[in-house]
Structure 1
Amino acid sequence: MTDATTNTNVQAAEGEARFGDYVALLKPRVMSLVVFTALVGLVVAPGGMSPMIGFTAILFIALGAGASGALNMWYDADIDLIMKRTRGRPVPSGRVEAGEALSVGVALSAISVAMLGLATNWVAAGLLAFTIFFYAVIYTMWLKRATPQNIVIGGAAGAFPPVIGWAAVTGDVSLEAVLMFGLIFMWTPPHFWALALFMKADYHEAKVPMLTVTHGRPETRRQIWIYSLLLAPVAIGLGLTSIGGPVYLSTAIVLNAIFLRHAFAVRGRDEAMAEADGYAAEKRLFRFSLYYLFLHFGALLGDAGLRMTGLLGG
C-alpha cells in the first residue's frame, strides 16, 4: 500500500461520523436548558407524577428538542458553514451528511411525540409536536432568514418546554405555565441580541437579518433595554402565583435588578466605547443572561422543595 493511499484512508476515517457527532447534531447545550425547564414545569405542576413516568416524559421531551436541533442543522448547513461560531458543526464540517441529519430529525420527532403521548397525554404530545414544527419550520426555514424579528417570534419555540412539562402532569395549560413561557420568551431577545452585538460580522456575512445587521447596533441596544424592562415584571409576577414563594420571589428581584443594570450599561454605550474595550459590557450581559434563566427555574424548584417538606404552604 502506498503512502498516498494510506493518507487517503486516514483522511476518510477522520471524516467519518462518530457517536459524538450525532450527539452534537442534537444541540446538547440547548437540550440541557430544554430538559431543565421542562423538568421544573413538571415538578411544580399540581397533582404530581410517578418518578418513572416523569423520567420518561423528560426523556421524550429531550428527544423532541434533539429532533429540532437536527432539523435546524440540516436546513442551516449553508449559513453555518459561513459563520465562524457554527462552521465546526457536524453537517457543515462534513462529518454528518445532510440527508442523515434530516433522517435523524424526522425519526426522533415522530418517536418523541408518539411516546410522550402514550406515556402522559396527548395535550403534552401536541404541544411538543407544535414546538418541533415551530422551531424547524416557522423559525428555521422562514423567520430566521426573513425578518429581524426572527429571535422575538422564534423565541416561542424555546419557551414551550416548561409548558409541556406542566401539561404532561395536568393535561392542560394554566396561568403559571403561561408565565413560565413568558419568562423564557421575554428573556430570549436581550440574550441573543447581546450576543449579536459582538458577533455582528458573522450574521452579516451569512446574510441573516439579525437586528444588528438590519437596524444597527444603536437600535439593538435600545431594544435590549426595552425587552429587559418588559422581562422584569413577567419574571417577578411569576413569584406571585401558586408556584412562587420566598425563594423565587427574592431571587427574581435580585436577578432582575442585576439584569437591568447590565442592560442599562449596554444601552448607554456607543460603538467607539464598545470597540475600545472589546464589547466588555455586552459580553457581561450575555454571560449573566446564561445564568439568569437557570437561577429563576432553580428557585422555582427551591420553593417546590419547601412545599414538599411542609415548610411552605400551598
Structure 2
Amino acid sequence: MMITADQSVVIPSDWRDYLALTKPRVMTLVVFTGLCGLLAAPGHIHPVIGFAVILCIAVGAGGAAALNQWYEAEIDAQMKRTAQRPIPAGRMDRRNARDFGIALSAGSVIVMGLAAGWLVAALLVISIVYYAVVYTIWLKPRTPQNIVVGGGAGAFPPLIGWIAVTQEVTLMPIVLFAIIFMWTPPHFWALALFVKTDYAKVGIPMMPVVAGEASTRRQILIYAILLAPFALAPWYLGGFGLIYGVSAALLSLAFIGFSLPVGLRRSEEGDAMRPERKLFGFSILYLFALFAALVADRLAANAGWIA
C-alpha cells in the first residue's frame, strides 16, 4: 500500500490492472480490423513481420488507452461505468499509468518502424496522438462532435495493416478508414444514450447531453444510412467481389434495420433503452462481420474460387 501526493491510498497493482489500462475489449476490435486490413491487402508479407505489425497495433492502442485513462482519472472516478478502472478504484498510481502508456506507445512505434517501415510507424504515431491527445484532451471535453471527428482514432488499424503489406497509400485503405469513421458515431451514440446521465454528471458534452435524445436518435439513423455506400465501396470500386458485396449489402440493411426503431423512437416507455442496446450490440457484430467478409473475399479470389 502507498500514499500518493494527493494523500489518496493506492493498493499495489498487479498485471490485471495494467491489462485493464489497455482496454482489452476495445483492443479486440482494433486488432481484428488491423489483421483484416493486412490479410485483405493485395500482395504478401512475411508472417513474422505481419505478426509484428499486428502486435504493434495492439500495443500502440493499449498505450493510447492507458494515456486516456491517466488523463481522465478524475472524470472516470465520477462515472458509474468507469469508476472501477484501476486508477479511480485506487489500485494504481496515476503516474505509473502515464509512464506505462508512454512506454507502450513509444515501444510499439519503434518496433513497427524497424519491422515494417517508417511510413507505417508514422501512421501508428498519428493514430496514438489522435486518440490520446486530439480526442481525449481536445475534442471530448469541448464539443458534441467529439466522437464524429474523434472516430478517426479507431479507424487507423485496417489502414495500417493494409499499408504494411503494400507500402503505399492508395484509395482502398482510405476507404477502409472511412468505413470505421462513419460507423463510429451511430455505434458510440447508441451507448451514450443509455449512459448519458454519467456524461451529464461530469460535464462531457456528448451528443445526447447537449442536443438531446431525439436529435441524437435522428443522427444515428442518418449515419447508419450514410454508412451503407461506404461499406459497399470496396465492392463497387472493383477491389473486392460478390462475397464481400453481398455481405456488405445485407449487413448494412440490417444495421439500418436496427437503427430505425432508435431513430424513429419518440417516447421513453419503460426507459429500457432496448432498441439502443440492441443497436450497440449489433454494431460490434456488424464491424467484425464486415471486415471478415473482406478477408473471405480475398482468400476466395486468391484460391481461384471466384473471378
Normalising to structure 1: TM-score of the pair?
Answer: 0.92
Partner of 1:116: 112
What is the aligned partner in structure 1 of residue 279 from structure 2? 285
Q: Deviations over 1:15-35 (max 9, x none)?
A: 221111101111111111111
**Is 1:309 the equivalent of 2:303?**
yes
1:242 to partner: Cα distance = 4.5
Q: Distance in 2 between matches of 1:94 and 1:299?
A: 43
Q: Is the 8 A contact 2:10 2:93 kept in 1?
A: no
1:97-136 equivalences under 5 Å are 97-136=93-132
Deviation at 1:239, TM superposition (A): 2.2
Distance 1:14 1:210 in 2: 31
Q: Is 1:50 aligned to 2:32, yes or no? A: no
Partners of 2:130 and 2:153 within 8 A in 1 = yes
Residue in 1 that maps onto 2:60: 64
The match for 1:4 is none
User: Residue 162 of structure 1 aligns with which residue?
Assistant: 158
Q: Distance in 1 between matches of 2:10 and 2:209?
A: 37
Q: Distance in 2 between matches of 1:243 and 1:94?
A: 50
Q: CA deviation at 1:134?
A: 0.7
Summarize deviations over 1:172-230 as a string: whole Å, max 9, x none: 22111011101100000000111111111111111110000001001001111111111
Of 187, 190, 210, 2:186 maps to 190
Report if aligned partners of 1:147, 1:210 keep a CA contact under 8 Å in 2. Answer: yes
- 1:312 is displaced (CA, Å) by 2.5
CA offsets 1:141-191 (integer angstroms, 9 cap, x no match) = 110000000000000000011001111111122111011101100000000
Give secondary structure in 2 for the equivalent of 1:187. Answer: helix
Q: CA deviation at 1:308?
A: 2.6
**Is residue 210 from structure 1 mapped to residue 181 from structure 2 by the alignment?**
no
**Superposition pairs for residues 177-256 of structure 1, below 5 Å?**
177-256=173-252
1:9 equivalent in structure 2: none
Please give the alpha-carbon distance, in whole angstroms, between the structure 1 residues aligned to 2:223 and 2:162. Answer: 26
Shift of 1:311: 1.1
* AA matched with 1:297: F
| CA–CA distance in structure 2, aligned partners of residues 105 and 205 of structure 1 | 27
Measure, in 1, the Cα distance between the counterparts of 2:113 and 2:42. Answer: 19
CA contact (8 A) 2:259 2:279 kept: yes
Distance 2:283 2:118 in 1: 33
> Shift of residue 99 of structure 1?
0.2
Aligned 8 A contact 2:10 2:92 in 1: no
CA contact (8 A) 1:138 1:154 kept: yes
Unpaired stretches in structure 1, ≥5 consecutive residues: 1-12
- Whose Rg is larger? 1
In structure 1, the residue matched to 2:27 is 31
Q: Which runs of 4+ in 1 moved over 4 A?
A: none
| 1:300 corresponding residue in structure 2 | 294
Distance 1:247 1:286 in 2: 25
Counterpart amino acid of residue 219 in structure 2: Q
SS at match of 1:196: helix
Contiguous gaps of at least 5 residues in structure 2: 1-8
Deviation at residue 264 of structure 1 after TM alignment: 1.4
CA separation in 1, counterparts of 2:97 and 2:68? 9
Decide whether the 8 Å contact of 1:163 with 1:181 is kept in 2.
yes
